[in-house]
Structure 1
Amino acid sequence: MLKLSLTRPAAAYLKEHLHLNSDEEAIALFGLQMLVYTVTGFLSICLAGWLLGVLALTLVVTLAAASLRLFAGGAHSRSPLTCNLLGMIVAPLLGKLAALAAPLITPAGLLVIILAGFIVAVVVAWRRAPVDSPAKPITSPAERRKLRSLSLLLVILIAALQVFILVTLQSAPLVLALSLGLWWQTFSLTRAGHWFAILIDNLMAKGGITA
C-alpha cells in the first residue's frame, strides 16, 4: 500500500546529512510538521474557500473554530495531514452553508440560533474543556481551570460579537459563519467528536495517508 508522507522523508534526510540521533530526528520531525502543516493547512483552506466563492466566510469559520480550540482543545487526529485535509474540506463547506442559508433566516431566527448555540457551547465547554492531547497532557488543576474559564469567556465574546454584527452590520452570513465555526469546534470537544476523529483516522490510514 502506498503511503503518503510529507515530512518523514525530510526528517530522515536531515538525520542522514546532519548525523542526528533518534531523539533529535523526532524533534526535527515535529518542527517540520508544525511549520509545513500550519502553512499548507491555512493556504489550502483559503484556496478551497476562494474556489467556492466564500473566502471571507471560510476565514470567519476558521477563526471562530481555531480561537476556541486554542483554549478548549478538542479531538486530535493521529496525523497532522489528516487534520489539514479535514479542515480544507469542512471550513469552506461551512462557509458555503452560511452563505446559502443566511437569506432564508429572519433576524429573529438568527437570535434564536445565537442563543441556542451559546447555551450548547457553554454547557459543553464547562463540562469538557479543556480537552488535552496525549502528546501534551494538562497536569495542573490550576491550568485546567484557567483554560476552562478562557474557553467560556471566548464563547461569551463570540455570542456578543454575533449580536453586535446582527444589530449594526445586519450581516446574516457573518453571524452564521461564526455559529458554524463555534459549533464545529464544540463538537470536537464531545465524545461524538472523538469518535468521528477516530473514524476519519481509520479511513485515512486505509487509504495510505500518514503524517
Structure 2
Amino acid sequence: MNLSDLSNQISDTIVMETKLDNEKKEILSYAVETFILSITGTLLVVLTSYIFHVMIPALIATFFGGSLRRLSGGAHFNTPFKCLMSGAIIYTFIGFISEQAIRFELVQVKFGLPFILFCLITVGILAPVDSPGKPIRSKKLRRTLKILSIIFVLVVMVVLNFTQLNLLKVSSLLGITYQCITLFPIFNRKEVEL
C-alpha cells in the first residue's frame, strides 16, 4: 500500500465517522499525507543523525530548513521516499558540519551575515517554488508566500542576533541555506529523478 492509499483510507474512516463532504475529505486526505510524511521524515532524521551522533544540530537544521520550506517550496524528488531519505542524509550532514565548525572554532562574530544575505536575496527572487504536483496558481498566494519567506529569514536573523548558542546559530543558518539552494532553477526543471 502506498502513502496516498494509506492517507485516503484514514480519511475515508474519519469521513464515515464525521460525515464530511468530498471536498473536505480531499483536504483531510492531503493533511493526513502531509502529517505522515512529516513524522516519517523527522524519524528518519532522528535515526540517521543519532547513528552519527549529531542529532541536536541535525534537528535544529531540520526545524529551521523545514519551516522555511513550508513557505518557499523547493526541489522535489519523484517519490516521497526519495525525498525523505535525501533530507535525512543532508540534514545529518549539516549536523556534522555544524559540530565541526564549532569544534574547530570557525564561527566568528559576523559568521551569519553572508548566509542571511544569501537567503534574503534567494527567497526575494526565487520564492515560492512550486512543483507540477502542487502548482501555485494564485498570484496573491504566491506574493504572500514570498513575503512570508522573507519575513521568516529576517526573524531568524533577529533571533540569532540575540543568542550566544553557536550550535543554534550554525545549524539553523546551514538549514535555511540548504533550503534556499533547493529554490534554484537547476533543481526545479522537473521533479528530480534518481
Identify the TM-score tier after normalising by the shorter chain: 0.7 to 0.9
**1:176 is aligned to 2:174:** no
Residue of structure 1 in register with 2:105 after alignment: 105
* Alignment length (residue pairs): 180
In the alignment, the residues of structure 2 paired with residue 145 and residue 30 of structure 1 have an alpha-carbon distance, to the nearest angstrom, of: 23
1:3-39 Cα distance to aligned partner (Å, 9 max, x none): xx7547868999xxxxxxxxxxxx6996775454332
In the alignment, the residues of structure 2 paired with residue 174 and residue 197 of structure 1 have an alpha-carbon distance, to the nearest angstrom, of: 32
Amino acid at match of 1:118: I
1:4-153 correspondence to structure 2 within 5 Å = 6-7=2-3, 33-105=33-105, 109-111=108-110, 113-153=111-151
Q: Is the 8 A contact 1:98 1:174 kept in 2?
A: no
In the alignment, the residues of structure 1 paired with residue 31 and residue 149 of structure 2 have an alpha-carbon distance, to the nearest angstrom, of: 27
Give me the CA root mean square deviation. Answer: 2.8
1:117-154 Cα distance to aligned partner (Å, 9 max, x none): 11111111111111112222222222111111100000
Amino acid at match of 1:62: T
Describe the SS at the equivalent of 2:85: helix
Describe the SS at the equivalent of 1:189: coil
Q: Which runs of 4+ in 1 moved over 6 A?
A: 11-14, 27-32
Q: Is the 8 A contact 1:74 1:188 kept in 2?
A: yes
TM-score by length of 1: 0.74
Residue of structure 1 in register with 2:17 after alignment: none
In the alignment, the residues of structure 1 paired with residue 31 and residue 67 of structure 2 have an alpha-carbon distance, to the nearest angstrom, of: 22
Fraction of identical pairs, as percent = 25
More helix per residue: 1 or 2?
1
**1:194 is aligned to 2:192:** no
Describe the SS at the equivalent of 2:188: helix
In the alignment, the residues of structure 2 paired with residue 54 and residue 121 of structure 1 have an alpha-carbon distance, to the nearest angstrom, of: 24
1:30-78 Cα distance to aligned partner (Å, 9 max, x none): 6775454332221111111122212111110001111111111111112
Residue of structure 2 in register with 1:185 after alignment: 179
**How far does residue 162 in structure 1 lie from its aligned partner after superposition?**
1.6
**How far does residue 195 in structure 1 lie from its aligned partner after superposition?**
6.1
Unpaired stretches in structure 2, ≥5 consecutive residues: 11-25
**How far does residue 95 in structure 1 lie from its aligned partner after superposition?**
0.5
**How far does residue 190 in structure 1 lie from its aligned partner after superposition?**
0.6
